[in-house]
Amino acid sequence: MKSKDLRRTGMEMRQKLLGEDGQKALEKLQKHNPKIARWAVENLFGEVYGNEVLDLRTRSLCTVSALIALGNEGPLTNHMRAALRIGITREELGEVIAQMVWYAGLPAAIRAINILDRLPGE
């Protein structure tokens, strides 16, 4: 795929997953570090999330799992919000968190529960 097409696909995937907040974050990133912004759009969102070998639901839960293990609160919040946005339920996220107790430990899981609890939604 050409760079222009990757960019378009990447922007669409970002919109689908991260919504308006992701747009603002991208503009900021673009201003401060355009190289990283390009990688995030074309390579991560275009080539990875935009690739249909795995469906978006699975990709979203894999990212949430890795971020629970890595323990970086900001991106974990954004990606749990993204999961809810694409239709993953709170019950499903709760199951991934319960699974992560065993790989990443109880404190990492409880942090994820607290983040999920603060996210708006029905």
Binding site for a second copy (CB under 8 A): 3, 28-29, 32-33, 35-36, 39-40, 43-44, 47-49, 51, 53-54, 57-59, 61-72, 74-75, 91-92, 94-111, 113-114, 116-117
Q: Are 16 and 56 in contact (CB under 8 A)?
A: yes
Q: Report how far residue 91's alpha carbon sits from residue 83's, in angstroms, rounded to the nearest whole number.
A: 12
Whole-number minimum distance, CB 49 to a second copy, in Å? Answer: 8
Listed in sequence order, the residues at least 6 apart from 16 whose beta carbon sits closer than 8 Å to its beta carbon are 56, 85, 86
* Of 8 and 37, CB closest to a second copy: 37
CB distance 80 to 115 below 8 Å:
yes
- Backbone torsions φ then ψ of 103, nearest 5 degrees: -105, -35
Task: Tell me the closest approach of the beta carbon of residue 82 to a second copy, in angstroms.
Answer: 13
Question: Toward a second copy, which CB reaches closer, 19 or 69?
Answer: 69
Q: State the minimum distance, in angstroms, from the CB of residue 90 to a second copy.
A: 9
SS3 75: helix
CB closer to a second copy out of 57 and 87:
57
Minimum CB–partner distance for residue 23 and a second copy (Å): 15
Q: Are 36 and 29 spatial neighbours (Cβ–Cβ below 8 Å)?
A: yes
Nearer to a second copy (CB atom), residue 19 or residue 105: 105
